[in-house]
Structure 1
Amino acid sequence: MALTKILAVDDEPFNLEIIEEILEELDFELQVATSGPECLEMVEGYMPQVILLDVSMPQMNGYEVCKALKANPNTAHIIVMFVSARGTVEERMEGYSVGAEDYIVKPFGHDELKSKLKNLNQVLIEKQSLEKQVEDATSTAFNAMANSSEMGEIVNYVENIGFINEPEELGKALIDCLKSFDLQSNVEFRQGDEINHFALSGVCSPIVVELFEMLKNKGRLHEFSHRILVNYELISLLILNMPDHDPDKHGRIRDHVCFIVSVTEQQLRAIMTKKMLESQQAKLNAVASTVHSKFHGLISLLNENRQSNEKVFKQLQEELEERIPTMGLDEDQEVFIYKKVDETIQNSIAREESVKQVKAAFAEIEQHLSLLLKS
């Protein structure tokens, strides 16, 4: 298990006792601090992987402590989960803007905290396994920026995504495109009830997922600190490192990002439409196959019935021709019997013409189905 060491910071001893009680049964090494300065003083010596940080504390509040942790290269990698009695969108955005990875609202239960730590443990595992890949990707991004223009990258991206037929491949292509601009990004795709997340680091942190959910219907563009969130109907994109040091570049990148997300959404719609049509085509093929089978079964039954009727009438004619002369009937009686038999045969022939019409109608229906399937 990647997560083994936790530091809990709260000025209320009772809150620390609750955390200790919840984590007692888990295999974590836990230390506590009762203030922000104490946390900063002991953190480098203890080096926890996760810090449970109270927001409201005297001397230094949680936001100030988190800023100090993230500003220190030796502690910037430590995952911070804010613990607060309030959980508004503004407070969560403030928490994320200073670098926190997650947020939990007091009072919380045993299962909620354990679930949060389980998610952070997964984030930590994936971050560790992808560290080298991220370093390589950063190096590749710098080389790409040196060898091609911003618009060239966008044109290449637009040309290439036209050949993509899977949402997951499209999400990775979007992350790679933004990586070529040296942008660290998180993406959410919404396809009906299915939601997928993509990130340069391989996984979106829980607080990013919560921000996507809270802000997806709150307007097209949100800018806070050096981050920008772009919302479309099916896609939300969060950029973590907008170039605030260069206002001109910041404006260009913002416009590029909005255009790239718009184009990506159109391709995602095309992929979803294609999959829907393929599903409908498969269902239509199945229906056509069933209809074809039923038609031919019915025609076979009609043919068998016709052949049976012919056999019966032929046998009847033969028996009448053999028996009538020996029955002692007068001529009128013989003529009457032959007339009735002939009328019956003619009625049968008329029904045979109806059968031919039914077959012709079936053939026409099959032809229409064939044309429909081809189109």
Structure 2
Amino acid sequence: MAKLILAIDDDKLVHHIIEESLAGFCKIIHAKDGDEGLRLTKKYKPDIILLDIEMPGKSGFDVCQVIKKNEQTKDIPVMFLSSNIELADRVKGYSAGASDYIAKPFNAQELMARIKVLYEYRQQGIKLKNDVEHAEKTAQIAMTESGDMGRIMRFVGQSYHANNFQLLSEYFLAFFTPFNLDVVVVFWYKSQGIFYSLQSAVCPLEQELLEQHRYAQRFVDVGASTIINYPKVSLLIKNMPVDDSAKFGRYKDLFPHILEITNEKAITIQNNENSYEQAAQIGIALEDIVKQLVSQNQAQNSITKQFIEQLHELDCAIKLQKESDKLCDLTPYFIKLDQTMQLFTSANSDLAFIKCQLKQINETRNELLASLRSNAGELVLQNTTENNDIELF
């Protein structure tokens, strides 16, 4: 099915550029102002809306807010079109409900690429929304816990068994289900973010918002949204109860405990991944050394065979000289033997280099084992502490 795009802009030239840029890529309907755009949105339910910000009458922010308040249209991704590219404007667009933001003037390739991303985000959102069975089951389990402490202790127990970010994210997101909060979690791994969300897909502006505030203070409030930052994990809560000060404060006191636990687990997962990679590198290095040793052994055997043959030739020449009582030039034999001895010297140098490689690999292996033992010791200590805590409750 062809993608249906609604372009809302008061500038005819922009409509022409959009039409030319997306010709053959998707079907486009046009609206000249906010009111017409809202009417067409309600009528056609487009896959994506391209929305100008500065228009006569309703602004793009106003139109976006109306779209997001309507139950039938709230899930349609909105991309703002604007010549304002400051972060404050982008944050304002996100607060109004936009999923992406593209600066004017834009080219066809950039617009098409951004629409592909938003369309994929839209399809992911539809799939996740329809697939509610797992979320309901998780909610039922979580709702059986007695109070916040019970949920925290359950999460601690679950996270102990999580050995990858996918499983850890499932336990983490399930914790927030009883609170009816729409959240996005990102794990910072190897200078990049791994994003997860339970109730919907993660839109580009949400990713950008988390990336922009990764190194900000612990709490960042953006309208009704709140970001909580830890070194290896950040949480975006999209619908904080800003009108309920008691609940708002309770959440800000409670959620850092979960983030701190999750941050430590993310560090453990990353350390384990690094250990696996290091072990794999050691294995590759050992395979290479085995090949070198096989090659070196073959070379040594060949040189030894050549040396024995040359000694035999020299012995025959000496015997022939004794039998004939004639002096002959034995220099060529000694030259060959000298060359073969140089080959032995070179082979020994190669063997010394291989031994040096083996020594380095053994040191790396010892470091890896020491790291694994240290992690295991910390884990045992952590488990002992956790068990003692549980007994106190």
Indicate conservation of the 8 Å contact 1:141/1:181, yes or no: no
Residue 35 of structure 1 is aligned with which of 33, 36, 47? 33
Structure 1 counterpart of 2:112, which letter?
K
Q: Secondary structure in 1 aligned to 2:130?
A: helix
Alignment pair present for 1:156 and 2:154: yes
Residue 129 of structure 1 is aligned with which of 119, 127, 130? 127
Structure 2 distance, partners of 1:39, 1:282, is 56
1:58 match: 56
1:25 to 1:279, Cα distance in 2 relative to 1, 3 A: closer
Query: Alpha-carbon deviation of 1:122?
Result: 0.7
Indicate conservation of the 8 Å contact 1:145/1:180, yes or no: yes
2:47 match: 49
Q: Secondary structure in 2 aligned to 1:130?
A: helix
Structure 2 distance, partners of 1:92, 1:191, is 25
2:336 match: none
Structure 1 counterpart of 2:17, which letter?
I
Indicate conservation of the 8 Å contact 1:197/1:203, yes or no: no
Indicate conservation of the 8 Å contact 2:219/2:229, yes or no: yes
Deviations 1:213-243 (A, max 9, x none): 2221232211122211112222221111212
Residue 98 of structure 2 is aligned with which of 100, 110, 119? 100
Deviations 1:53-86 (A, max 9, x none): 1011121110011111112223222221111111
2:11 match: 12
Structure 2 counterpart of 1:212, which letter?
L
Residue 234 of structure 1 is aligned with which of 232, 235, 246? 232
Residue 168 of structure 1 is aligned with which of 166, 171, 193? 166
1:98 to 1:26, Cα distance in 2 relative to 1, 3 A: same
Structure 1 distance, partners of 2:138, 2:164, is 25
Q: Secondary structure in 2 aligned to 1:183?
A: coil
1:281 to 1:252, Cα distance in 2 relative to 1, 3 A: same
Query: Alpha-carbon deviation of 1:99?
Result: 1.2
Indicate conservation of the 8 Å contact 2:81/2:104, yes or no: yes
Query: Alpha-carbon deviation of 1:110?
Result: 0.3
The alignment's TM-score, normalised by the length of structure 2, stands at 0.70
Query: Alpha-carbon deviation of 1:199?
Result: 0.8
2:208 match: 210
Structure 2 distance, partners of 1:178, 1:169, is 15
Tell me which structure has the larger Cα radius of gyration.
1
For the aligned residue pairs, the C-alpha RMSD in angstroms reads 3.4
Structure 1 distance, partners of 2:86, 2:125, is 28
Indicate conservation of the 8 Å contact 2:227/2:234, yes or no: yes
Query: Alpha-carbon deviation of 1:112?
Result: 0.6
Q: Secondary structure in 2 aligned to 1:11?
A: coil
Query: Please, which runs of 5 or more residues in structure 2 have no aligned partner?
Result: 305-354, 371-393
Q: Number of aligned residue pairs: give it.
A: 313
Q: Secondary structure in 1 aligned to 2:231?
A: coil
Q: Secondary structure in 1 aligned to 2:179?
A: coil
Query: Alpha-carbon deviation of 1:107?
Result: 0.7
Aligned structure 1 segments of 4 or more residues deviating by more than 4 angstroms: 281-291, 369-375
Structure 2 distance, partners of 1:64, 1:12, is 18
2:327 match: none
Query: Alpha-carbon deviation of 1:87?
Result: 2.0
The alignment's TM-score, normalised by the length of structure 1, stands at 0.73
1:282 to 1:48, Cα distance in 2 relative to 1, 3 A: closer
Query: Alpha-carbon deviation of 1:246?
Result: 2.7
Structure 2 distance, partners of 1:68, 1:225, is 17
Mapping of 1:139-150 within 5 angstroms? 140-141=138-139, 144-145=142-143, 147-150=145-148
> Percent of aligned positions with the same letter in both sequences?
31
Query: Alpha-carbon deviation of 1:46?
Result: 2.5
